[in-house]
Amino acid sequence: MGEKKVSLPAKLINGGVAGLVGVTCVFPIDLAKTRLQNQQGIQVYKGMLDCLAKTVRSEGYFGCYRGAAVNLTLVTPEKAIKLAANDVFRQKLSKDGKLPLWGEVLAGCGAGTCQVVVTTPMEMLKIQLQDAGRLAAQRPMAAPAQAAAPGPAPSLVAPSSQAQSTPPPRPSATGITMELLKTRGLAGLYRGVGATLMRDVPFSMIYFPLFANLNALGRESASGQADVQARAPFWQSFVAGCSAGSVAAVAVTPLDVIKTRLQTLQKGAGEDTYRGILDCTTRIMRREGPSAFLKGATCRALVIAPLFGIAQGVYFLGVGETVLGLLG
């Protein structure tokens, strides 16, 4: 499939603008996804809508945007790297203006690998901020269960009522970053990098080839080859991005559950901690069953579909080229 060449600065601007717009639109659903995936013992939320309703009730509307500042700060380089890297790899792997399926998959693999540099610390910080509200909501539910437990052990598990009445300080991205750097070094910010690679590389290998083929539908010349000069209309780029994003998001949801569990630092009462990917996988399977690996699948589809629909719409509308033209 022939592709219109776009300058690297324009690709970076397109990816950044698309990421900012997309994240602003879907962040509350992403917060619900994180909280649902982290639930192990005490079920604070029954589903996405219940999670959002309880979050608004207890934390206010802006509670749904906990961690959004981290995402909005880092999503620009993350999406810029992902989209630009995929485009660069596609151009390098093209021969005579055509890119075979193996080249599309390889380009997606390269894009997913490149973005992990930014994605891992961004997700690490975002997850701690998003999950703080779930942990706070879990404490009042855990207290009656602990009080009902037989024997004198509860005093060792639960703090005194005076201590319980004092809520812990709300975490901040800066505070978490400084604590991780002080206690674990730079590696602390890259906790779960292997699981992030396991999620993002397959996602990109599914998403980019699927999007490219959906986006090329109906743009063939009389010879049966993709028309090099034809450009997909906005609605087609948007629908192709949404469709490809939904399929890829649901396909890698089990890997996203593992990544989220590994990157969560604070655990609730009775919740497992994990030593690595294999340990996490076996513990989830043993304690929660295979259905736990699909927690948040609907939320992921609802997040990724519009996120990448907007991203590809902006990308193919050429916002970056327009901005560079105005600055030039």
pLDDT in tens, 169-194: 778 899 999 999 999 999 999 999 99
Q: Return mean pLDDT, the chain.
A: 83
Asked if 79 and 311 touch (Cβ cutoff 8 Å), the reply is yes
pLDDT of 246 reads: 95
Assign 302 a pLDDT band (cuts: 50, 70, 90).
very high
Please check whether the domain covering 6-136+172-222+229-325 is classified as CATH 1.50.40.10.
yes
pLDDT of 158 reads: 43
The dihedral formed by the CA atoms of 270, 274, 30 and 245, expressed in degrees to the nearest 10: -140
Assign 100 a pLDDT band (cuts: 50, 70, 90).
confident
Asked if 51 and 36 touch (Cβ cutoff 8 Å), the reply is yes
pLDDT of 269 reads: 80
pLDDT of 1 reads: 40
pLDDT of 222 reads: 44
Portion of the chain with pLDDT greater than 70, in percent = 85
pLDDT in tens, 59-77: 999 999 999 999 888 887 8
pLDDT of 155 reads: 38
pLDDT of 233 reads: 80
Assign 296 a pLDDT band (cuts: 50, 70, 90).
very high
Ordered by start, the domain boundaries in the chain are: 6-136+172-222+229-325
Q: Which amino acid is at 327?
A: L
The Cα–Cα gap between 145 and 263 comes to 27
Q: What does the pLDDT average to over 242-247?
A: 93
